[in-house]
Structure 1
Amino acid sequence: MDVEVIENSNKCARCNYCRVCPIYTVEGWESASPRGKLYTIKSLVNGEIDVDARVVKELFKCTTCGSCEVICQVEIPLINLWENFRAHLNSKGYILPVHKKLREKTFREWNPYGESREKRADWFKDLKNLTSTNSDLLYFAGCTASYRTLSIARDTVELFNKTGLDFNYAGVDEYCCGSPFLRTGQRDLAQKLFLKNYKKWKEMGIRRIVTSCAGCYRTIAKDYPKIAEKLDYDFDFEVLHTVQILDEIVDEIDFEDVDVKATYHDPCHLGRHMGVYEEPRRVIEKMGIELIEMEKNRENAFCCGAGGGVKSQFKELALAIGELRVKEALNTNADYLISCCPFCKLHISQSLNNFDKNINVLDIVEVVIRTLNK
């Protein structure tokens, strides 16, 4: 850790390009910028400053959106650096109060919302006849679609049925993927969640996994193989986001003629983290919807403000970031703000509350269901 910090801090060109950071954009303090965080960490490693509550708080003000890493002129792997140092702080007993509560809730009910594990599949109760226990394709709804944005999970299952896609579902035996805990440095809990999901998938004979959530997709596709390697497990699953499935089958879907304008929000974990940019745009255009891009899009898209444990611990900061993204969307005069992440949808919808002007915030699957030729 010490070598990683020193080497990367010495690489920093001090160009200030990383001030595209959403936290810095709202707060304006150098300590809030990625460069400021990098030098804070270097000072901690060198023993120039001590760890205290204020320092820890500042280092956790990061959505792990990756804007800094994309624009970094000397290619410092900043996302890994932030997550590694958070894990280091956690190992020393430094954990923020709300993140600790999320941890306790998840150990109790296996989801960070603290909702009853037995209610995880309530959204699926009247849809059970649509699933196939023989399918090796698993639909992984994720915590937010299971407990907060249920229409996304329901519409995904309905779409799979209408397009003849056989799928399986773990029900109450689906566990949080662990993304919130990897982003906040709680790797021990993330590993426990990996083991629970992995063992269930093997038991079900799963070979392919499709999820609605950008955070789940990033975690299962990118982080799970690393955890599996560490534990000497084979990770031989194909992992997809629902929009990638949609992109494959969209030409076979019959859509109604619509007169709708939409803008698209790139979820950080789907876009910058995983490089999925064009698939959702192709699906939107195939639906006959006019796509109007926000000023900041694709790899330069502005974060919604919710990720990295920021929404839970720093609610007002997260909402301030979300409101900046809402302003961009409203400036397009679009009818819909479409995204591919239940957590983004949830947070952007909440960030709209202080605006007189409105825009329909929808997941791409919800839009597909709305525009199907009945």
Structure 2
Amino acid sequence: MAEYPTLKAYIDDIYTCNRTRCGFCSVECPVFRVKHLESYASRGRMLAARGLLEGHLEPSAELQEVMDACLMCGYCQSRCALPNMDIFAAVREELRAAGFVSPKHEKTAARILEEGTLFDRPMPYRRVGTQPLYLGCAYQSKPQEVKTIVSVLEKVGLDPLVSDEVCCSYIVGATGLSDEFERAQGRFRQVYGPHLDGEILTVCPTCTATLKDEYGLNVKHALVAVAERLAEMDLEPLNLKVTYHDPCHLGRMLGVTEEPRQILRALGIEVIEMTHHGTFSTCCGGGGGLLDVDRNLAVEVSKNRIREAVEVGARTIVTACPTCQPTLLRGAGRMANELGYFVDVLDLWELLDKVLD
């Protein structure tokens, strides 16, 4: 048996999957629904993991492509008792150790380590307050959206403190660059040190899950805090009909599914549910580093999500993630000619600010 120490820790789980072969994980895997190839589904990746451990497969560019096509969205794990995501992360880590890594993922990791941000744009917003608010670099790269979020929090009686911050580095760990992720965590703790002992409000679902699960911090997604306060406010209804797209990290991994819907109902908005929603929502196509290595595949995944919204009669999708919104908008743009109209995708913070104005 080949020596892959990180992956070998999961050998019993891998064999359990290989013996069972139920396939519940594969049927609705967003990438499998596009590729229609077993190797791109969870069950196929489990076989690949076994192949590595038993020496039937060697690390290769082809295997790297298959593993990098995983959205790390957790849908398969929601249908299974096995730690699928941990296993796929371990395969990625073993491939990186063998020298198989996307240059784009390496470039992203280098930028985060050197500049503290995922984007080549400054993160200038600061606010003096009492409640630490971690924005994350996706929102920080969009100054107007940051102002909208802070405006909403102020209007519901919160006093957010926005100070120096660096990227949570989720994408570094998710793409298997474990050494770089460890160094990035050290930098995060150094920069954000003054706020690590108390409760931290967050807005990006991915950052929230990373700070909670990888850093062990006390985090609370700001929409939960808003939902708690909104119930006591008298609001002018918007009288809209929308569907809500649950971000994978916010809904499936953090269990924040009802609060966004409570907010929408409080705003006078009728929510039409897609077939896959809540814990079993499917990914927008923007997860796991896929946007860096295969944007066309990401768009095809997004188009399937747009189709699902259209099937239930929705022409507006609301979400609460700085990655989901632009990813779904790309899919909506590609679908416009086929549908004959454009499905709009809104950030929940926009609607909140409009009603609370």
The two structures have a TM-score, normalised by structure 2, of: 0.91
Q: Give 1:35's aligned residue.
A: 43
Aligned with 2:107 (options 101, 109, 126): 101
1:362 corresponds to 2:342:
no
Measured at CA, do residues 162 and 152 of structure 1 come closer, stay the same or move farther in structure 2, by a change above 3 Å? same
Q: Give 2:213's aligned residue.
A: 222
Counterparts of 2:180 and 2:143 in 1: how far apart (Å)? 25
1:250 corresponds to 2:268:
no
Counterparts of 1:301 and 1:164 in 2: how far apart (Å)? 31
Q: Secondary structure at the match of 1:338?
A: strand
Q: Secondary structure at the match of 2:243?
A: strand
Measured at CA, do residues 25 and 103 of structure 1 come closer, stay the same or move farther in structure 2, by a change above 3 Å? same
Aligned with 1:82 (options 62, 82, 88): 88
| 1:156-211 superposed Cα distances (whole Å, 9 cap, x missing partner) | 101122223112112xx311111111211122232233222323333357622112
Measured at CA, do residues 335 and 254 of structure 1 come closer, stay the same or move farther in structure 2, by a change above 3 Å? farther
Runs of 4+ in 1 over 4 A off after TM superposition: none
Measured at CA, do residues 49 and 282 of structure 1 come closer, stay the same or move farther in structure 2, by a change above 3 Å? same
Q: Give 1:4's aligned residue.
A: 9
Counterparts of 2:343 and 2:247 in 1: how far apart (Å)? 18
Contact 2:15/2:50 (<8 A) preserved: no
Measured at CA, do residues 34 and 99 of structure 1 come closer, stay the same or move farther in structure 2, by a change above 3 Å? same
Counterparts of 1:206 and 1:277 in 2: how far apart (Å)? 27
Q: Give 1:209's aligned residue.
A: 200
Measured at CA, do residues 254 and 194 of structure 1 come closer, stay the same or move farther in structure 2, by a change above 3 Å? farther
1:57 corresponds to 2:71:
no
Q: Give 1:190's aligned residue.
A: 181
Contact 1:145/1:151 (<8 A) preserved: no
Indicate the RMSD between aligned Cα atoms, in angstroms: 1.8
Measured at CA, do residues 327 and 92 of structure 1 come closer, stay the same or move farther in structure 2, by a change above 3 Å? same
Letter in 2 for 1:153: V
Q: Percent identity?
A: 28
Q: Give 2:311's aligned residue.
A: 331
Q: Give 1:233's aligned residue.
A: none
Count residues in correspondence. Answer: 345
| 1:276-324 superposed Cα distances (whole Å, 9 cap, x missing partner) | 1111111111111101011111122111011101111111101100111
Letter in 1 for 2:71: T
Aligned with 1:18 (options 15, 25, 29): 25
Counterparts of 2:106 and 2:252 in 1: how far apart (Å)? 28
Superposed displacement of residue 224, structure 1: 0.8
Q: Give 2:165's aligned residue.
A: 174
Q: Secondary structure at the match of 1:305?
A: coil
Q: Secondary structure at the match of 2:231?
A: helix
Counterparts of 1:241 and 1:35 in 2: how far apart (Å)? 32
| 1:241-295 superposed Cα distances (whole Å, 9 cap, x missing partner) | 1211112111233321222011100111111111111111111111111010111
Superposed displacement of residue 104, structure 1: 2.4
Contact 2:14/2:50 (<8 A) preserved: yes
Counterparts of 2:33 and 2:193 in 1: how far apart (Å)? 44
Contact 1:151/1:366 (<8 A) preserved: no
Q: Give 2:3's aligned residue.
A: none
1:120 corresponds to 2:113:
no
Aligned with 1:132 (options 117, 128, 133): 128
Letter in 1 for 2:244: Y
Superposed displacement of residue 335, structure 1: 4.8
Superposed displacement of residue 92, structure 1: 2.9
Measured at CA, do residues 192 and 270 of structure 1 come closer, stay the same or move farther in structure 2, by a change above 3 Å? same
Q: Secondary structure at the match of 2:318?
A: strand
Letter in 2 for 1:157: V
Contact 2:30/2:283 (<8 A) preserved: yes
Contact 2:113/2:184 (<8 A) preserved: no
The two structures have a TM-score, normalised by structure 1, of: 0.87
Contact 2:112/2:169 (<8 A) preserved: no
Counterparts of 1:355 and 1:27 in 2: how far apart (Å)? 18
Q: Give 1:345's aligned residue.
A: 325
Contact 1:5/1:41 (<8 A) preserved: no
Contact 1:18/1:35 (<8 A) preserved: yes
